[in-house]
Structure 1
Amino acid sequence: MEDRVSELEVRITLAEDLVEELNLTVYRQQQQIDLLQQQLRHLYRHLQEAPTTVDKSNPRDDIPPHY
């Protein structure tokens, strides 16, 4: 009976370590997600503020310099 209790204690300790490691992984991933969202918002704002110039010329209309 004592061996079974010891085995259960070991398993619980390993499970607690695994849960702690998984929590740390989730925390780090959330930090990365937050940073990526912040960068995306910044990029979106930058694109919204940039002047929109559309070049409607056709590349076929450009004559190469060797002609």
Structure 2
Amino acid sequence: MSIDAMQASFEARLTELETRLSFQEHAIAALSDALAQSRDEEGRNALALHRALEELRQLRLAVSSNPLSADPASEPPPPHY
């Protein structure tokens, strides 16, 4: 094998490795962005759950402190009436 052929072979291999590295870097960046987005969504969901649980706790306290409000007859009619 001549030196020119060996150099061409090394350059082809180097180009292939650089191409693979570029694709891997792109994939890692995409995964990192997806992970960051998922963590943001998880934070929003945790906050929404916390608020819903707090509202449920307050509703339970209101019902337990005023049992008459739990009477369906004291509820206003639904909006479609």
**TMscore range, shorter length:** 0.7 to 0.9
CA drift at 1:24: 0.2
- Match of 1:19, as an amino acid? I
- Indicate the residue corresponding to 2:38 in structure 1: 29
Among candidates 16, 21, 25, match of residue 7 of structure 1: 16
CA drift at 1:32: 0.5
Structure 2 residue 46 is the aligned partner of structure 1 residue 42: no
Structure 2 unaligned residues grouped into runs of 5+: 1-9, 72-81
TM-score (norm 1): 0.76
Give me the CA root mean square deviation: 1.3
Structure 1 unaligned residues grouped into runs of 5+: 56-67
Divergent runs of 4+, >4 A: none
By relative contact order (CA 8 Å, sep 6+), the higher-ranking structure is 2
Overall identity of the aligned pairs, in %: 20
C-alpha distance in 2, partners of 1:48/1:4?
65
- Match of 1:17, as an amino acid? H
